Structures are given as structure tokens and as C-alpha cells.
Amino acid sequence: MKTVLEEEGMDQYEDLVLAIIFTETKGNSVDVMQSSESKYGEQNKITSEKESITSGVTHLAEAIKYALDNDCDTWTGVQAYNFGTSYVDYVVNHGKKNSLELAETYSKEVLAPMLGNSTGATYHYYEPIALLHNGGKLYQNGGNFFYAELVKRNMKIINILS
């Protein structure tokens, strides 16, 4: 992992990558960073942890660089790791700083309808942050608008335990 981080100029983001791995799979999958979709456009195509980390770190580096190049915060790039980099363009036009509220609006009004959910249908998401925020709901086809908040929390947990 350190080699990939160095190659991508992401040395300072090792804790962030570990938090993403924890958020995505807790390390219990070959595709530890769930990066198959960003690399291949579909799930379950990654065949090794090394490939997952290489493509995941590359995708994260692109998302963070795109966010920072557009005067947004790093957490916009982290949320874009889940939503796709078009989220950065949305944030540019809405204050240049990621927030849970902004990510939720993007999920509901842009991403979910673009991927076929024109009714605002939701499903239950049993995660403490979600339960406290809205009773535990995500929009079908809308990605995970809690993503950056989950990664922040998991990064704190990793730092406390290490």
C-alpha cells in the first residue's frame, strides 16, 4: 500500500486509506477498497487485494486532487470516492465544502434519479450515524451520502486504537 500511496503522491493519506478500507469491507474481501466499479464500471471484477488497493488509491487520488484543484475540501474528494467525481462539480456550485446535508441533497436530487430512482425511494440503512440523522435511510441508487462522515469516524477509531 505504501508504494501505491507514494506513486500517487498520497503518502500523507495512509490513515485515510485505512479508514476507507475499514468503511468499505473491514478488510474482509478481496476487493478491500470496493474499487471494482470505479475501475471496471461494475461490481466484483477485482481479483486481488493488490489490484483493489492500486485502483482504489488511484481513484481516491484523482477525486481528492480534483476536489482540491477546484478549491473544495479533502472531504469532498472522499465523498466523491463513493459518488463519483461529478459530485465535486456539484460542490463547486454549492459552497465548495462537503457537508452531510449537501451530500444528501446530491444523492436524492442528482445521483438517485440519474440511476433510475425518480420517486425518491429509500431503504433502511442500519448505521448509527444514519439512524440519528434520519432514522436510517438511504436513497435507492443514490450512493451513500453518509460516506465521508463514516470515513471520518472510522479514521478516529483507527487512530485511537493504534
d(CA 151, CA 122): 22
Q: For residue 59, is pLDDT > 90?
A: yes
Rg of the chain (C-alpha set): 15
For the stretch 67-80, pLDDT in tens is 999 999 999 999 99
Residue 6 pLDDT level (bands cut at 50, 70, 90) = very high
Q: For residue 160, is pLDDT > 90?
A: yes
Residue 1 pLDDT level (bands cut at 50, 70, 90) = confident
Question: Has this prediction a pTM greater than 0.85?
Answer: yes
Q: What pLDDT, on the 0 to 100 scale, is given for residue 131?
A: 98
**What is the percent of the chain with per-residue pLDDT over 90, rounded to a whole number?**
93
87 touches 65 (CB < 8 A): no
The predicted model gives 6-18 an average pLDDT of 94
Residue 140 pLDDT level (bands cut at 50, 70, 90) = very high
Q: What pLDDT, on the 0 to 100 scale, is given for residue 16?
A: 97
Q: What pLDDT, on the 0 to 100 scale, is given for residue 162?
A: 86
